[in-house]
Structure 1
Amino acid sequence: MNKYKETFGVDISKDVFDVHGSNKGHDQYKNDEIGFKKFLKELPKGSLVVMEATGYYHYRLAQFLHKNEVIVSVVNPLSVKRFIQMKLAKVKTDKSDAKAICEYALINEVPIYNALTDTQSECLQLFRLLDTYLKQRTATKNKIHGEAVLGIPSKFVYRSLIRNKKQLNKEVAAIESKILSLVKEDQQEQLTLLTSIPGIGQKTALFLIVVTDGFSKFETAAQLCSYVGITPTIRESGSSVRGRARISKVGNRKLRNLLFLCSFNACKHNKACKEVYERIVNKGKSKKLALIAVANKLLKQSFAIAKYGRPYDETYVSVLPR
C-alpha cells in the first residue's frame, strides 16, 4: 500500500514538465526556477514525486525538490517503458507519460533519491565534458591519418588539425587533473585502495567513487552490479530458445564500458579475474562472456575493498554480503 499522501508522476522536456497527481490529476509547469517554485507551492506535504532519469532535464528539478525537503524518486526509464508496454497503451504523449509514471509508482516500490553533493555534481559534469573532448580528439586523429593517406595533404589543413589535437590534449589533461584534485579532497584513501586492484586504473577508480558516492549508496555488491548493468542475462525457454548470454545493459553505461576495458588487463594481472576468465572459456563459452564475468568480478573486488578499507590482497577471501 502506498504510504504517501499523494503520488505525482513527472514527465520532463526541455521547456516544460507535465505532472499527474494520483488525486489532483494533470498539470503543466515551465521547466525553470519559476515553474519549480510554483510546483513546490502546490505540492501537498508528505507527497512523493517520481520522475524518469532523463539526463540534464530531470537533474535540476530533482535537486531543487530534494533541497526543499520533498521526497523524490528517480526511476529507470526502461522500467516505465516496459510498464507502459505491459498495459498495451496506444497513446503516448507527455500527459499520458506523466500519468503512467504516477501509476507505476503507486504499484511498485521506487528508490528514494539522494541529492548529489556539489563535488559529485561537478565531477560528473567534468566526466561528461571529458568524454566529449576524447571523442573529438579521436575524430581529429583519424582525420590527420586520412589526410596523410592522400599523399598530398594541404599544409594549412594538416597544421590546423595538429593545433586542434594539441589543444584537445591540453583540455583533456586539465579536466583529468581537476577531477583528481576534487576526489582527493574527500576520498584520497579510497582512491589509493581501488587503484591497488590489478586492472582498475585511475580513471575507472575516480568514476566509481563519484557515481557511488564513495560506495555509500549500496549495501551489497549485488546492488552495485545491478546498478552498473554488468550482470549477465540468460535467454532460454523450452528446447527451442537458446539465446546467447548478454549483459543486462540496464544501468550506468559509462561505468560499464570502463570496467569492460579494464577486464582485458585484469585477465593478465589479476589472479582471481584470470581464474574466472579461464574457467568460463574452458567451458566453451565466448571470450566476451568471460570478459563480462571479469568486469563483474572487478566490481565486486572494488566493493569489498572499499567497504573493508584495506588494499588488494589476492590471497584474501571476502565475506561481505553478495
Structure 2
Amino acid sequence: MNKYKETFGVDISKDVFDVHGSSSGHNQFKNDEKGFKSFLKILPKDSIVVMEATGYYHYRLAQFLYKNNVAVSVVNPLSVKRFIQMKLAKVKTDKSDAKAICEYALANEVPLYNALTNVQAECLQLFRLMDSYLKKRTATKNKMHGEETLGIPSKFVYRSLKRDKKHLDRELEGIEARLLELVKQEQQQQLTLLQTVPGIGAKTALFLIVITDGFSKFETGAQLCSYVGITPTIRESGSSLRGRSRISKVGNKKLRNLLFLCAFNACKHNKACRELYERIVQKGKSKKLALIAVANKLLKQCFAIAHSGLPYNDEYVSVLKIK
C-alpha cells in the first residue's frame, strides 16, 4: 500500500516536464531551474515523485528534488511501458504518460532514488560518451569495409577514415583510463575482488561496477542478469509458435558483449562454468545457448563476490547467494 500523502508521476522531455498528481491532477513546468522551483512549491509534504530513467533529461530534476528532501523514484521505462500495454491504453501523450507513471507508482512498490556522488556522475557521463564513440567507430569500420569492397578505393577517402578510426581509438583508450582512475578512488577493493573470478578481466569488472553503482542497484543476481539483458526468453505458444530460445536484448550491449568474451575463458578456467557448459552441450543443446548460460553464471558469481566481500573460491562459491 502506498504510504505517501500524494504520488506524482513525471514525464520529462528536453524543454518541459508534465506532472500528474494522484490528487491534484495535471501540471506542466519548464525543464530548468525555475521550473524545478515552481514544481517544488506545489509539492505537499510526504509526497513521492516518480519518473522514468530517460538518459540525460531526468537526472537534473531527480538530483534537485533529492537535495530538497523530496522522496524520488527513478523507474525502468520498460516496466512502465509494459504496465501501459497491460491497460490497453489507446492514447499516448506526455500528459497521459505522466498519469500512467503515477498509476504505475500507486500499483507497485517503487525504489527510492539515491543521489549520485561526483565520481558516479562523471563515470556515467564517461560511459555515455564511450557508447557514442563506440558506435561512431563501428560506423567508420563499416565504411572502410565498404570502400574496400569497391575494388578500387579512393586513397584519400580510405586514409581519412583510417585517421578517424585512429582518433576514436585514442579517445576510447583515454576514457577507459579515466574510468579506471575514478573507480579506483571509491571501489578499488571491489575491482580487485571481481578479478578473482576466473574469466572476468579488468575491463569487464570496471564496466560492471560503473553500470551497477558498485552492485548497489540490485538485490539479487537474477535482477542483475535481467538488467544486463542476459536472461533467456522462451518463444512458445500452443502449436503455432515454437521459436528458438534466445536472450533478452534489453540492457547494455557493450557489457553483454564483454561477458560473452569472458564466457569463453570461463569455460576453460572457471570450474562451475566449465561444468555448466559441458552439461548443457551433453544434453544436445547448442554451444551458443551454453555460452549464454555461462555468461549468466559469471554475472551471478560477480554479484555474489561483490556482496560477500570475499575473493572467489571454487569450493566456497557454490554456497554463496547467487540467485
Normalised to the residue count of structure 2, the TM-score between the two structures is 0.90
Q: Does 1:35 align with 2:25?
A: no
1:99-178 maps to which residues of 2 (within 5 A)?
99-178=99-178
Asked whether the 8 Å contact 1:120–1:211 carries over to 2, the reply is no
Task: Name the CA shift for 1:59/1:234 in 2 (closer, same or farther; >3 Å).
Answer: same
Task: Name the CA shift for 1:165/1:271 in 2 (closer, same or farther; >3 Å).
Answer: same
Amino acid at match of 2:52: E
Task: Name the CA shift for 1:46/1:259 in 2 (closer, same or farther; >3 Å).
Answer: same
Amino acid at match of 2:188: Q
Normalised to the residue count of structure 1, the TM-score between the two structures is 0.91
2:88 aligned partner: 88
1:1-322 maps to which residues of 2 (within 5 A)?
1-236=1-236, 242-321=242-321, 322=323
Q: Distance between the aligned counterparts of 2:195 and 2:4, measured in 1?
A: 43
Paired-residue identity, %: 81
Q: Distance between the aligned counterparts of 1:256 and 1:142, measured in 2?
A: 21
Structure 1 residues 258-267 or 50-59, which shifts more? 258-267
Structure 1 residues 33-42 or 241-250, which shifts more? 241-250
How far the C-alpha of 1:45 sits from its partner, in A, is 1.2
How far the C-alpha of 1:213 sits from its partner, in A, is 2.2
Asked whether the 8 Å contact 1:233–1:247 carries over to 2, the reply is yes
Report the RMSD for the aligned CA atoms in angstroms: 2.2
Q: Distance between the aligned counterparts of 1:320 and 1:99, measured in 2?
A: 42
Query: Alpha-carbon deviations, 1:49-106, whole Å to 9, x = none?
Result: 1111221112221122112211111122222222222222221111111111111111
Structure 1 residues 63-72 or 13-22, which shifts more? 63-72
* 3-state SS, counterpart of residue 311 of structure 1: coil
Query: Alpha-carbon deviations, 1:173-204, whole Å to 9, x = none?
Result: 11111111111112122212212222222221
How far the C-alpha of 1:29 sits from its partner, in A, is 0.6
For structure 2, the residue ranges without an aligned partner over 5 or more in a row are none
Q: Distance between the aligned counterparts of 2:236 and 2:90, measured in 1?
A: 30
Query: Alpha-carbon deviations, 1:144-200, whole Å to 9, x = none?
Result: 344345454433323322322222222111111111111111212221221222222
Task: Name the CA shift for 1:19/1:316 in 2 (closer, same or farther; >3 Å).
Answer: same
How far the C-alpha of 1:231 sits from its partner, in A, is 2.7
Asked whether the 8 Å contact 1:304–1:318 carries over to 2, the reply is no
Q: Distance between the aligned counterparts of 2:141 and 2:44, measured in 1?
A: 55
Q: Distance between the aligned counterparts of 1:219 and 1:83, measured in 2?
A: 22
How far the C-alpha of 1:33 sits from its partner, in A, is 1.5
How far the C-alpha of 1:42 sits from its partner, in A, is 1.3
Amino acid at match of 1:174: G
Q: Distance between the aligned counterparts of 2:254 and 2:212, measured in 1?
A: 13
Asked whether the 8 Å contact 2:301–2:317 carries over to 1, the reply is no
Q: Distance between the aligned counterparts of 2:148 and 2:236, measured in 1?
A: 50
* 3-state SS, counterpart of residue 312 of structure 1: coil
Count of residue correspondences = 322
How far the C-alpha of 1:250 sits from its partner, in A, is 4.5
Task: Name the CA shift for 1:165/1:240 in 2 (closer, same or farther; >3 Å).
Answer: closer
Structure 1 residues 231-240 or 267-276, which shifts more? 231-240
How far the C-alpha of 1:25 sits from its partner, in A, is 0.3
Asked whether the 8 Å contact 1:268–1:274 carries over to 2, the reply is yes
How far the C-alpha of 1:228 sits from its partner, in A, is 2.7
For structure 1, the residue ranges without an aligned partner over 5 or more in a row are none
